[in-house]
Amino acid sequence: MLKRMLGNSGLEVSALGLGCMGMSMGYGPAPDKQEMITLIRQAFERGVTLFDTAELYGPYTNEELVGEALAPLKGKVAIATKFGLMSDNLRPVLDSSPDKIRQSVEGSLRRLGVETIDLYYQHRVDPNVPIEEVAGAIQELIAQGKIRHWGLSEADPATIRRAHAVQPLAAVQSEYSMMWRSPEAELLPALEELGIGFVPFSPLGKGFLTGTIDKNTVFDRADNRTLTSRFNAENLDHNQTLIELIRVIAAEKRATPAQIALAWVLAQKPWIVPIPGTRKLERLEENLGAAEVELTAADLNSLGEALSKIEVAGERYPSRVSDKLGN
């Protein structure tokens, strides 16, 4: 697995990371814990060194899972987790007060079984706490050796600049894929200017870009996608145009649709590290194969032109849930 540097931070990780949220929540009943521990270790054996979790996931149980799985690999991997967002019946509860941050980091350190968190994200921006106060609290935790690097998730460029001026950011997270390209307008140029890495979550469009989901797909009642208009039958049918485009390229490259979707994200910038999630070894191996797919400048230009003509239908989060809640 090739390595990539997250901006100017000095944090080098595998070109593809592993999003671990779905191992505990979000996509139906949680699978067997021991199977997920095995899968996380299999990811490391195949070259993955960035593993993404959060105190929200579970809540809390995902950090425990990741910590137990990676316990034998201390010093060989980078663990990213998050603070500042909890869920109350699908209603986002934001709290990034300095006291809460200090409380959260102690809980995450304990659950992960580590002395230092490699990458600590503010899960969502808290409008009630100036980002400078958040950055100041993080700066103290870095000085204490409890955090190595920090980042923001789904923050706007202005907030990123203010935070970065107090304590330089290593990475910013946002959804980004062939079906959600909004970061290209303002976010990516700002990150490039500031030397901050980008870690896209849902680079496979929550599974849609694998080409395995259509209007006849039935989701488990506990699957969050049942709440999102992007995944209703009408929009799934409409968005098959995007899948048809990807399948053409996949056939030319002798790759799968998922590999083309991930290779496209990887090809956008050398400091982008996608974190697709999965619960299955075969999907993990398929995803990692994307690092070997080469998309030429001509391929990217052709895809970009085609994508610009495709209007994706449906919202990425449930209408009754604020955009502050998600990965």
Q: Which residues are catalytic?
A: 57
User: Do 51 and 40 meet the contact criterion of CB atoms below 8 Å apart?
Assistant: yes
In the block, residue with structure tokens 């390209």: 181
Residues 6+ away with beta carbon under 8 Å from 25:
57, 58, 62
Strands 171-175 and 147-153: parallel
What is the C-alpha to C-alpha distance for residues 191 and 6, in angstroms, rounded to an integer? 10
What is the C-alpha to C-alpha distance for residues 159 and 125, in angstroms, rounded to an integer? 8
Side chain identity at 159, as an amino acid letter? Answer: T
Question: By C-alpha distance, which of 279, 249, 252, 244 is closest to 262?
Answer: 249
User: Which helix or strand (DSSP H or E) is residue 284 part of?
Assistant: helix 281-288
Bridge partners of 272, per DSSP, are 198
What are the Cα distances from residue 235, in Å, to 92, 226, 229, 246?
Answer: 26, 12, 7, 17
Q: What is the DSSP string of 158-175?
A: HHHHHHHHHS--SEEEEE
Report the SS3 class of residue 145. coil
Report the SS3 class of residue 201. strand
What is the C-alpha to C-alpha distance for residues 94 and 92, in angstroms, rounded to an integer? 6
CB neighbours of residue 200 within 10 Å: 26
In the block, residue with structure tokens 């935070």: 163
User: Do 290 and 256 meet the contact criterion of CB atoms below 8 Å apart?
Assistant: no
- The two structure tokens encoding residue 40: 């996380």
- The two structure tokens encoding residue 48: 């993955």
